[in-house]
Structure 1
Amino acid sequence: MSVGERDPHSGHMTTGHDWNGIKELNRPVPKIIWLFLAATVIFSVVYWILMPAWPLGVTYTHGLLGIDQRDSLEAQLEEGAQQQSAWADQIREASLATIQEDPQLMETVRKTGATLFGDNCAVCHGTEGNGGPGYPNLSDQAWLWGGAPEEVQETLRVGINAEHPETRIGQMMAFGENRMLGRDEIRDVVTYVQSLFNPDAVADRPEEALANGEEIFAANCVSCHAEDGSGMTEVGAPNLTDDFWIYGGDRQSLYDTIFYGRQGVMPHWEGRLSPLERKVLALYVVDMSNREE
């Protein structure tokens, strides 16, 4: 087949390629494609002339418009600092209680705190503060170290079991792994703990197990969780009479907690966040908890 052959159906010349009787046509590039290519080239040339584009060793072509993203960023940062100064001094100087009573300042706390929380806390506690297995729910009213703004602010500053020299230290001992309690004793304690927050869950358990668990609890647990199981924020011991659990309140989870122990870690934010940011974040977390009431 010759290259110069013309296809009788389309009128286009062929290329000379033939695949099992199927001939390839030598069709020209559509004009719309040339139009787009030309427009792209023209746009590129105009952009190169007007805008910063080409690197030249230690410098670059600045373009006729002289636009500099660094200058734009500095202007935006300066504008943001000016806007922040309008409320930052008020929050910095006012007491936590005063801020909570000021609707306008609290609206600023909610807007700024949401960004701080999303950037620093949401990775563990979730974007809504609902927590997850091993991470406390900050939207309820269950607090390990106290839920007052001053207490939350201090927790943010020093962390929990963190590297800060003043960190809060809290640990649930491994009663089973360290052989302080036997397996049957742990099961009885689990039964008693369940009776504190959900009596119906242990309705079918033997009375002897419940009584034995209460005795073991009194001998080993009240120093942290109090005689009635309501916990102690002074040592970060949780309340066992409510139904808020970090590691789970089912029998298996409770057994694992008592047997293996727990020691959660929260990093300290002193040096990472400014005192103003920690103050705003503490107010935001407390407000988040109050909104769920």
Structure 2
Amino acid sequence: MKILVFGKDGQLGKAFKNLFDAFPPSQNIEVQYAGRDDCDLSNEKALNSYLEQVAPNLIINAAAYTAVDLAQTNEELAFAINTHAPELMAAYATSHGASLLHYSTDYVFDGQKQVAYIESDPRNPLSVYGKSKAAGEEAIEKVFAKQSASRYAILRTSWVYGEGANFIRTILRLAKERDQLRVIHDQLGVPTNAQWLAQTSLDLVFDDQFQLKPFPSGIYHAVPNGETSWHGMASLAVKVATDCGVDLTVKPDSILPILAAEYPLPAPRPQNSRLDNSKLRLLIESEGDMTKLQHLNTSWEESVRTYIAQLAQKNLI
């Protein structure tokens, strides 16, 4: 079996490599990782040629144009990578009997809902980035609607952190440099560990023998349990790092909550980014695998604590 992972240099791409490297060597699995230097996703000819060359049985699209603010003035590139490239991957998958895992975002919603979003809620993105990701979802659905042999999963997630630059590491860096931080508290979401997300993805599509299994095609919200604000995540990060013995200037009570309106950015963000993971949880429950269910039911707080403890252990804070 051949697996092709796009986005090898991103947080999720690196998380997949960690998992696949841990697969038993006896498994007949070949994994190819592609970054920007390997394949330009904005180039239709290059992408189609690369797919034909690798001939994957499973495509994992962990790549995206994620510069939310820059997308406001780079609309063409954002749509090329976030909409047209996934459409081409879907077309390859359906014509070659392959499966597709694609990652999307809470930014496909406008954030006006008062409770967590479910998969069937209508898309209404606020930013160019959100619009390009929503259009990517729609393109994949349209391609796969023409046939039923291949399978796909669009995994919506939010506030991802992992190996690389992210909100938590920025907060901890600033917490060493300053004695006070101001962090937005009126935007709600679910912090998602990239390693957790990669494992959740494989739990969806692989059986216990490390082989692809049948799974219901569609959109799934893939986030841990719970919810918080950016301020809540920052406060927990500082507390955990301090408990791990990291010398920080900022104390948890020196992180001041502010309104999003006090920190204007070029691209609008949804106020409510909470995603309901019930659909995915019910599917895993129906399979009766308690290990997978226990993993899925991890809380965002537990994931953040584990992540920061690992950073501290490796002297990365």
Q: Give the TM-score of the pair, scaled to structure 1.
A: 0.21
Q: Which has the larger radius of gyration?
A: 1
**Structure with more helix by fraction:** 1
Output the TM-score relative to the length of structure 2.
0.19
Instruction: Name the structure with the higher strand share.
Output: 2
